Amino acid sequence: MSTYQDLLKSPGVARIILAQLTARFPFGMLSLALLLHVQQVHDSYGAAGLVLAAASIGQSISGPLTSRWMGIWGMRRVLILTTAVCMLALSTVALFELPVVAYMVVAFIGGLSTPPIQPAVRTIYPKMVSSRQLTPLFSLDASAQEIIWVLGPVVTVFISTQVSTVAGIMTAVVMMVAGGSWFISLPELGQVRIPRSRRRMGAVLTRPSVVVATVVGFLLVGACAAVEAGVVALYDHGLESGIVLAIFSVGSLIGGLSMGHIPISPWSLAKRMLIVAGGLGIASIWLNIWWLGAALFVAGVGIAPALAVLFAMVSATVKFSETAEAYGWVGTGQLIGAALGSAVAGFLIDGVGETGAFLAAAGFAVAGFIAAAIGSRWSPDLRGRDASPIPDTEPVPVQGR
Protein backbone atom coordinates (compact mmCIF):
# COMPACT_ATOMS: atom_id res chain seq x y z
CA MET A 1 0.00 0.00 0.00
CA SER A 2 3.00 2.31 0.45
CA THR A 3 3.29 2.47 -3.36
CA TYR A 4 -0.19 3.93 -3.60
CA GLN A 5 0.44 6.33 -0.71
CA ASP A 6 3.49 7.69 -2.51
CA LEU A 7 1.46 8.07 -5.68
CA LEU A 8 -1.29 10.05 -3.97
CA LYS A 9 1.34 12.41 -2.51
CA SER A 10 2.53 13.32 -6.02
CA PRO A 11 1.33 16.84 -6.98
CA GLY A 12 -2.13 16.77 -8.53
CA VAL A 13 -2.54 12.99 -8.66
CA ALA A 14 -5.17 12.63 -5.92
CA ARG A 15 -7.07 15.63 -7.30
CA ILE A 16 -7.22 14.37 -10.87
CA ILE A 17 -8.19 10.84 -9.80
CA LEU A 18 -11.07 12.18 -7.70
CA ALA A 19 -12.23 14.60 -10.41
CA GLN A 20 -12.23 12.06 -13.22
CA LEU A 21 -13.97 9.48 -11.02
CA THR A 22 -16.68 12.02 -10.23
CA ALA A 23 -17.03 12.94 -13.89
CA ARG A 24 -17.27 9.29 -14.93
CA PHE A 25 -19.52 8.18 -12.05
CA PRO A 26 -22.74 8.76 -14.05
CA PHE A 27 -21.60 6.19 -16.58
CA GLY A 28 -21.71 3.59 -13.82
CA MET A 29 -25.37 4.52 -13.47
CA LEU A 30 -26.56 5.14 -17.01
CA SER A 31 -26.55 1.65 -18.53
CA LEU A 32 -28.64 0.29 -15.69
CA ALA A 33 -30.81 3.43 -15.53
CA LEU A 34 -31.57 3.21 -19.26
CA LEU A 35 -32.23 -0.52 -18.99
CA LEU A 36 -34.72 -0.01 -16.16
CA HIS A 37 -36.42 2.97 -17.81
CA VAL A 38 -36.90 1.52 -21.30
CA GLN A 39 -37.92 -1.88 -19.91
CA GLN A 40 -40.56 -0.17 -17.76
CA VAL A 41 -41.88 1.94 -20.64
CA HIS A 42 -42.01 -0.89 -23.22
CA ASP A 43 -42.15 -3.95 -20.93
CA SER A 44 -39.36 -5.70 -22.83
CA TYR A 45 -35.76 -6.47 -21.99
CA GLY A 46 -35.13 -6.99 -25.69
CA ALA A 47 -36.22 -3.39 -26.41
CA ALA A 48 -34.07 -2.12 -23.54
CA GLY A 49 -31.12 -4.08 -24.89
CA LEU A 50 -31.54 -2.48 -28.32
CA VAL A 51 -31.55 1.02 -26.82
CA LEU A 52 -28.41 0.24 -24.82
CA ALA A 53 -26.82 -1.18 -27.94
CA ALA A 54 -27.60 2.04 -29.85
CA ALA A 55 -26.03 4.14 -27.10
CA SER A 56 -22.96 1.93 -26.99
CA ILE A 57 -22.54 2.01 -30.78
CA GLY A 58 -22.61 5.80 -30.61
CA GLN A 59 -19.98 5.70 -27.88
CA SER A 60 -17.86 3.30 -29.90
CA ILE A 61 -17.77 5.74 -32.82
CA SER A 62 -17.05 8.73 -30.60
CA GLY A 63 -14.10 7.13 -28.77
CA PRO A 64 -11.29 7.46 -31.34
CA LEU A 65 -12.96 10.45 -33.05
CA THR A 66 -13.28 12.78 -30.04
CA SER A 67 -9.92 11.58 -28.70
CA ARG A 68 -8.29 12.69 -31.93
CA TRP A 69 -10.18 16.00 -31.80
CA MET A 70 -8.50 16.71 -28.45
CA GLY A 71 -5.17 16.85 -30.29
CA ILE A 72 -6.60 19.40 -32.73
CA TRP A 73 -8.85 21.66 -30.63
CA GLY A 74 -7.66 20.95 -27.10
CA MET A 75 -9.13 18.87 -24.32
CA ARG A 76 -11.31 21.55 -22.72
CA ARG A 77 -13.18 22.55 -25.88
CA VAL A 78 -13.99 18.97 -26.82
CA LEU A 79 -15.09 18.07 -23.29
CA ILE A 80 -17.38 21.11 -22.98
CA LEU A 81 -19.09 20.43 -26.33
CA THR A 82 -19.61 16.71 -25.77
CA THR A 83 -20.89 17.18 -22.21
CA ALA A 84 -23.54 19.68 -23.38
CA VAL A 85 -24.84 17.47 -26.21
CA CYS A 86 -24.81 14.31 -24.09
CA MET A 87 -26.78 16.07 -21.35
CA LEU A 88 -29.51 17.10 -23.80
CA ALA A 89 -29.80 13.65 -25.36
CA LEU A 90 -30.06 11.78 -22.06
CA SER A 91 -32.59 14.29 -20.70
CA THR A 92 -34.74 13.62 -23.77
CA VAL A 93 -34.72 9.87 -23.08
CA ALA A 94 -35.72 10.47 -19.48
CA LEU A 95 -38.42 13.09 -19.96
CA PHE A 96 -40.27 11.86 -23.07
CA GLU A 97 -41.99 8.52 -23.74
CA LEU A 98 -40.91 7.57 -27.26
CA PRO A 99 -41.15 4.53 -29.57
CA VAL A 100 -38.24 2.12 -29.35
CA VAL A 101 -36.74 3.35 -32.64
CA ALA A 102 -36.85 6.98 -31.45
CA TYR A 103 -35.24 5.99 -28.14
CA MET A 104 -32.51 4.26 -30.12
CA VAL A 105 -31.82 7.36 -32.24
CA VAL A 106 -31.61 9.68 -29.21
CA ALA A 107 -29.53 7.15 -27.26
CA PHE A 108 -27.18 6.88 -30.23
CA ILE A 109 -26.70 10.68 -30.19
CA GLY A 110 -26.07 10.54 -26.45
CA GLY A 111 -23.48 7.83 -26.95
CA LEU A 112 -21.87 9.70 -29.84
CA SER A 113 -21.37 12.72 -27.59
CA THR A 114 -19.93 10.85 -24.59
CA PRO A 115 -17.23 13.09 -23.04
CA PRO A 116 -13.78 11.50 -23.69
CA ILE A 117 -12.69 11.76 -20.06
CA GLN A 118 -10.96 8.39 -19.91
CA PRO A 119 -8.63 8.96 -22.92
CA ALA A 120 -7.88 12.46 -21.61
CA VAL A 121 -6.87 11.42 -18.12
CA ARG A 122 -4.84 8.40 -19.25
CA THR A 123 -2.95 10.60 -21.66
CA ILE A 124 -2.20 13.07 -18.86
CA TYR A 125 -1.00 10.43 -16.35
CA PRO A 126 2.46 9.82 -17.93
CA LYS A 127 3.21 13.54 -17.58
CA MET A 128 2.34 13.60 -13.86
CA VAL A 129 4.43 10.78 -12.35
CA SER A 130 7.82 9.16 -12.80
CA SER A 131 8.13 6.25 -15.21
CA ARG A 132 8.40 3.69 -12.39
CA GLN A 133 5.13 4.95 -10.89
CA LEU A 134 3.10 4.70 -14.09
CA THR A 135 2.11 1.02 -13.94
CA PRO A 136 0.99 1.27 -10.28
CA LEU A 137 -0.95 4.43 -11.23
CA PHE A 138 -2.80 2.57 -13.98
CA SER A 139 -3.60 -0.16 -11.45
CA LEU A 140 -4.80 2.36 -8.87
CA ASP A 141 -6.94 4.05 -11.52
CA ALA A 142 -8.50 0.76 -12.63
CA SER A 143 -9.17 -0.17 -9.02
CA ALA A 144 -10.54 3.22 -8.03
CA GLN A 145 -12.96 3.22 -10.94
CA GLU A 146 -14.62 0.19 -9.38
CA ILE A 147 -16.09 2.64 -6.87
CA ILE A 148 -18.21 3.72 -9.84
CA TRP A 149 -19.45 0.17 -10.35
CA VAL A 150 -19.88 -0.50 -6.61
CA LEU A 151 -21.99 2.58 -5.85
CA GLY A 152 -23.42 3.32 -9.28
CA PRO A 153 -25.75 0.30 -9.56
CA VAL A 154 -26.87 0.62 -5.93
CA VAL A 155 -27.68 4.34 -6.32
CA THR A 156 -29.44 3.70 -9.63
CA VAL A 157 -31.61 0.85 -8.38
CA PHE A 158 -32.50 2.70 -5.20
CA ILE A 159 -33.54 5.91 -6.98
CA SER A 160 -35.26 4.12 -9.87
CA THR A 161 -37.29 1.84 -7.62
CA GLN A 162 -38.00 4.20 -4.75
CA VAL A 163 -38.60 7.37 -6.79
CA SER A 164 -38.81 6.72 -10.55
CA THR A 165 -36.72 5.58 -13.50
CA VAL A 166 -36.88 9.16 -14.80
CA ALA A 167 -35.24 10.35 -11.58
CA GLY A 168 -32.59 7.65 -11.98
CA ILE A 169 -31.50 8.98 -15.38
CA MET A 170 -31.75 12.65 -14.41
CA THR A 171 -29.61 12.09 -11.31
CA ALA A 172 -26.90 10.71 -13.57
CA VAL A 173 -27.26 13.72 -15.90
CA VAL A 174 -26.83 16.21 -13.06
CA MET A 175 -23.76 14.36 -11.79
CA MET A 176 -22.30 14.23 -15.29
CA VAL A 177 -22.52 18.01 -15.64
CA ALA A 178 -21.19 18.69 -12.12
CA GLY A 179 -18.34 16.16 -12.30
CA GLY A 180 -17.46 17.14 -15.86
CA SER A 181 -17.25 20.81 -14.89
CA TRP A 182 -14.83 19.98 -12.06
CA PHE A 183 -12.62 17.87 -14.32
CA ILE A 184 -12.62 20.47 -17.11
CA SER A 185 -11.56 23.17 -14.63
CA LEU A 186 -8.42 21.30 -13.45
CA PRO A 187 -5.09 23.03 -14.21
CA GLU A 188 -3.61 19.76 -15.52
CA LEU A 189 -5.82 20.05 -18.61
CA GLY A 190 -4.10 23.34 -19.40
CA GLN A 191 -0.59 22.13 -18.61
CA VAL A 192 -0.57 19.15 -21.00
CA ARG A 193 -1.46 19.47 -24.66
CA ILE A 194 -1.93 16.38 -26.78
CA PRO A 195 0.19 16.89 -29.92
CA ARG A 196 -1.55 16.49 -33.28
CA SER A 197 -0.93 13.03 -34.69
CA ARG A 198 0.85 13.06 -38.05
CA ARG A 199 -0.62 9.73 -39.12
CA ARG A 200 -4.10 9.08 -40.49
CA MET A 201 -6.89 8.11 -38.14
CA GLY A 202 -6.82 4.38 -37.39
CA ALA A 203 -3.12 3.93 -38.18
CA VAL A 204 -2.47 3.17 -34.50
CA LEU A 205 -4.39 -0.09 -35.03
CA THR A 206 -1.42 -1.38 -37.01
CA ARG A 207 0.21 -1.94 -33.62
CA PRO A 208 -0.71 -5.50 -32.57
CA SER A 209 -0.68 -4.60 -28.86
CA VAL A 210 -3.48 -2.04 -29.43
CA VAL A 211 -5.51 -4.63 -31.34
CA VAL A 212 -5.06 -7.18 -28.55
CA ALA A 213 -6.09 -4.63 -25.91
CA THR A 214 -9.14 -3.63 -27.97
CA VAL A 215 -10.33 -7.20 -28.61
CA VAL A 216 -9.81 -8.40 -25.04
CA GLY A 217 -11.43 -5.25 -23.64
CA PHE A 218 -14.40 -5.83 -25.95
CA LEU A 219 -14.89 -9.36 -24.63
CA LEU A 220 -14.27 -8.46 -20.98
CA VAL A 221 -16.82 -5.64 -20.94
CA GLY A 222 -19.26 -7.75 -22.96
CA ALA A 223 -19.14 -10.30 -20.16
CA CYS A 224 -19.75 -7.61 -17.54
CA ALA A 225 -22.68 -6.14 -19.49
CA ALA A 226 -24.31 -9.57 -19.77
CA VAL A 227 -23.90 -10.07 -16.01
CA GLU A 228 -25.51 -6.70 -15.31
CA ALA A 229 -28.54 -7.48 -17.48
CA GLY A 230 -28.89 -10.97 -15.98
CA VAL A 231 -28.73 -9.73 -12.38
CA VAL A 232 -31.31 -6.98 -13.00
CA ALA A 233 -33.69 -9.44 -14.66
CA LEU A 234 -33.17 -12.07 -11.96
CA TYR A 235 -34.16 -9.78 -9.13
CA ASP A 236 -36.84 -7.89 -11.08
CA HIS A 237 -35.46 -4.39 -10.37
CA GLY A 238 -35.15 -5.15 -6.65
CA LEU A 239 -32.47 -3.76 -4.36
CA GLU A 240 -30.81 -7.20 -4.41
CA SER A 241 -29.61 -6.50 -7.97
CA GLY A 242 -27.66 -3.44 -6.81
CA ILE A 243 -26.15 -5.37 -3.91
CA VAL A 244 -25.03 -8.31 -6.07
CA LEU A 245 -23.51 -5.99 -8.67
CA ALA A 246 -21.74 -4.12 -5.88
CA ILE A 247 -20.22 -7.41 -4.66
CA PHE A 248 -19.02 -8.03 -8.23
CA SER A 249 -17.28 -4.64 -8.21
CA VAL A 250 -15.84 -5.03 -4.70
CA GLY A 251 -14.07 -8.16 -5.95
CA SER A 252 -12.57 -6.09 -8.76
CA LEU A 253 -11.51 -3.32 -6.37
CA ILE A 254 -9.74 -5.79 -4.09
CA GLY A 255 -8.14 -7.58 -7.03
CA GLY A 256 -6.80 -4.36 -8.49
CA LEU A 257 -5.26 -3.13 -5.26
CA SER A 258 -3.75 -6.52 -4.39
CA MET A 259 -2.21 -7.15 -7.83
CA GLY A 260 -1.12 -3.60 -8.68
CA HIS A 261 2.47 -4.18 -7.60
CA ILE A 262 2.95 -7.39 -9.62
CA PRO A 263 5.20 -6.85 -12.68
CA ILE A 264 3.41 -7.29 -16.01
CA SER A 265 4.52 -10.15 -18.22
CA PRO A 266 3.22 -11.17 -21.68
CA TRP A 267 0.93 -13.72 -19.99
CA SER A 268 -0.44 -11.43 -17.27
CA LEU A 269 -3.55 -10.52 -19.27
CA ALA A 270 -4.44 -14.15 -19.99
CA LYS A 271 -4.02 -15.11 -16.33
CA ARG A 272 -6.35 -12.36 -15.20
CA MET A 273 -8.95 -13.22 -17.84
CA LEU A 274 -8.84 -16.84 -16.66
CA ILE A 275 -9.94 -15.68 -13.19
CA VAL A 276 -12.89 -13.81 -14.73
CA ALA A 277 -13.89 -16.75 -16.92
CA GLY A 278 -13.69 -19.21 -14.03
CA GLY A 279 -15.83 -17.07 -11.73
CA LEU A 280 -18.52 -16.46 -14.36
CA GLY A 281 -18.59 -20.12 -15.30
CA ILE A 282 -19.25 -21.02 -11.67
CA ALA A 283 -21.89 -18.28 -11.41
CA SER A 284 -23.95 -19.74 -14.26
CA ILE A 285 -24.35 -23.09 -12.47
CA TRP A 286 -26.77 -21.90 -9.76
CA LEU A 287 -28.56 -18.56 -9.40
CA ASN A 288 -28.96 -18.68 -5.63
CA ILE A 289 -28.09 -15.21 -4.30
CA TRP A 290 -25.31 -16.45 -1.97
CA TRP A 291 -23.74 -18.67 -4.63
CA LEU A 292 -24.07 -15.97 -7.27
CA GLY A 293 -22.59 -13.28 -5.02
CA ALA A 294 -19.59 -15.46 -4.12
CA ALA A 295 -18.96 -16.50 -7.73
CA LEU A 296 -19.21 -12.94 -9.03
CA PHE A 297 -16.81 -11.78 -6.32
CA VAL A 298 -14.26 -14.31 -7.61
CA ALA A 299 -14.84 -13.21 -11.21
CA GLY A 300 -14.49 -9.57 -10.18
CA VAL A 301 -11.01 -10.18 -8.72
CA GLY A 302 -9.65 -10.44 -12.26
CA ILE A 303 -11.39 -7.42 -13.81
CA ALA A 304 -9.46 -4.37 -12.54
CA PRO A 305 -6.08 -6.17 -12.87
CA ALA A 306 -6.96 -7.09 -16.47
CA LEU A 307 -7.90 -3.48 -17.24
CA ALA A 308 -4.66 -2.24 -15.68
CA VAL A 309 -2.69 -4.54 -17.99
CA LEU A 310 -4.64 -3.24 -21.00
CA PHE A 311 -3.84 0.38 -20.12
CA ALA A 312 -0.16 -0.34 -19.48
CA MET A 313 0.37 -2.37 -22.66
CA VAL A 314 -1.13 0.43 -24.78
CA SER A 315 0.92 3.14 -23.04
CA ALA A 316 4.18 1.23 -23.42
CA THR A 317 3.81 0.52 -27.14
CA VAL A 318 2.56 3.75 -28.76
CA LYS A 319 3.89 7.28 -29.22
CA PHE A 320 2.60 9.97 -26.86
CA SER A 321 0.83 11.74 -29.74
CA GLU A 322 -1.11 8.52 -30.42
CA THR A 323 -2.04 7.56 -26.88
CA ALA A 324 -5.38 9.39 -26.76
CA GLU A 325 -6.54 7.83 -30.03
CA ALA A 326 -5.27 4.40 -28.95
CA TYR A 327 -7.24 4.63 -25.71
CA GLY A 328 -10.19 5.81 -27.78
CA TRP A 329 -10.05 2.61 -29.85
CA VAL A 330 -9.71 0.50 -26.71
CA GLY A 331 -12.74 2.31 -25.31
CA THR A 332 -14.58 1.66 -28.56
CA GLY A 333 -13.90 -2.05 -28.23
CA GLN A 334 -15.22 -2.02 -24.68
CA LEU A 335 -18.36 -0.13 -25.67
CA ILE A 336 -19.11 -2.44 -28.59
CA GLY A 337 -18.71 -5.25 -26.07
CA ALA A 338 -21.20 -3.54 -23.77
CA ALA A 339 -23.63 -3.17 -26.67
CA LEU A 340 -23.32 -6.78 -27.78
CA GLY A 341 -23.32 -8.15 -24.24
CA SER A 342 -26.46 -6.22 -23.31
CA ALA A 343 -28.26 -7.13 -26.53
CA VAL A 344 -27.37 -10.83 -26.41
CA ALA A 345 -28.27 -11.07 -22.72
CA GLY A 346 -31.55 -9.19 -23.27
CA PHE A 347 -32.73 -11.55 -25.99
CA LEU A 348 -31.60 -14.65 -24.08
CA ILE A 349 -33.50 -13.43 -20.98
CA ASP A 350 -36.66 -12.98 -23.05
CA GLY A 351 -36.10 -16.36 -24.74
CA VAL A 352 -34.71 -18.81 -22.18
CA GLY A 353 -34.58 -16.95 -18.87
CA GLU A 354 -31.93 -15.35 -16.68
CA THR A 355 -29.53 -18.32 -16.87
CA GLY A 356 -28.96 -17.47 -20.54
CA ALA A 357 -27.44 -14.12 -19.60
CA PHE A 358 -24.88 -15.72 -17.27
CA LEU A 359 -23.98 -18.37 -19.84
CA ALA A 360 -23.43 -15.56 -22.35
CA ALA A 361 -21.21 -13.74 -19.83
CA ALA A 362 -19.13 -16.88 -19.28
CA GLY A 363 -18.82 -17.33 -23.05
CA PHE A 364 -17.55 -13.79 -23.52
CA ALA A 365 -15.00 -14.26 -20.73
CA VAL A 366 -13.71 -17.58 -22.10
CA ALA A 367 -13.30 -15.98 -25.53
CA GLY A 368 -11.42 -13.12 -23.81
CA PHE A 369 -9.03 -15.58 -22.17
CA ILE A 370 -8.38 -17.29 -25.52
CA ALA A 371 -7.78 -13.95 -27.24
CA ALA A 372 -5.37 -12.87 -24.48
CA ALA A 373 -3.50 -16.16 -24.69
CA ILE A 374 -3.14 -15.87 -28.47
CA GLY A 375 -2.14 -12.22 -28.13
CA SER A 376 0.57 -12.90 -25.52
CA ARG A 377 3.17 -12.97 -28.32
CA TRP A 378 2.45 -9.27 -28.97
CA SER A 379 2.03 -8.20 -25.35
CA PRO A 380 5.00 -6.25 -23.93
CA ASP A 381 7.12 -7.65 -21.15
CA LEU A 382 7.18 -4.82 -18.59
CA ARG A 383 9.15 -6.67 -15.94
CA GLY A 384 12.07 -4.39 -15.13
CA ARG A 385 10.91 -1.57 -17.45
CA ASP A 386 8.36 1.21 -17.30
CA ALA A 387 5.10 1.72 -19.20
CA SER A 388 5.80 5.26 -20.44
CA PRO A 389 4.73 6.06 -24.03
CA ILE A 390 7.31 6.07 -26.82
CA PRO A 391 8.64 9.67 -27.10
CA ASP A 392 7.69 11.66 -30.19
CA THR A 393 10.54 12.87 -32.34
CA GLU A 394 9.58 16.51 -31.72
CA PRO A 395 9.16 18.43 -28.46
CA VAL A 396 5.75 18.17 -26.79
CA PRO A 397 4.50 21.66 -25.86
CA VAL A 398 3.67 22.15 -22.18
CA GLN A 399 1.59 25.19 -21.36
CA GLY A 400 1.91 27.19 -18.16
CA ARG A 401 -0.80 27.44 -15.52
Q: What pLDDT tens digit does each residue of the chain (401 aa) get?
A: 566 777 777 778 888 988 988 998 888 788 788 888 998 898 787 888 889 888 878 887 887 888 888 878 888 999 999 999 999 999 999 999 899 999 999 999 999 998 988 888 877 887 787 767 777 787 787 777 767 766 777 788 789 888 899 999 999 999 999 999 999 999 888 777 776 667 777 778 888 999 999 999 999 989 998 998 898 888 876 678 778 888 888 898 888 888 877 788 899 999 999 999 999 999 989 888 899 999 999 999 999 889 888 888 888 888 877 777 888 888 788 877 877 887 788 888 888 888 999 999 999 999 999 999 999 998 888 876 766 666 655 444 454 44
Total residues belonging to the chain: 401
Q: CA-CA distance, 338 to 217, in Å (whole number)?
A: 10
Q: What is the 3-state secondary structure (H, E, C) of 256-283?
A: HHHHCCCCCCCCHHHHHHHHHHHHHHHH
Q: How far apart are CA 260 and CA 6, in angstroms?
A: 14
Burial of 146-168, coded b for 16+ CB within 10 Å and e otherwise, reads: bebbbbbbbbbbebbbeeebbeb
CATH topology of domain 12-378: Growth Hormone; Chain: A; (1.20.1250)
The answer for residues whose C-beta is within 8 angstroms of residue 353's C-beta and 6 or more apart is: none
What is the DSSP secondary structure assignment for residue 390, as one 8-state letter? Answer: B
| Residue 390: φ, ψ to 5° | -70, 130
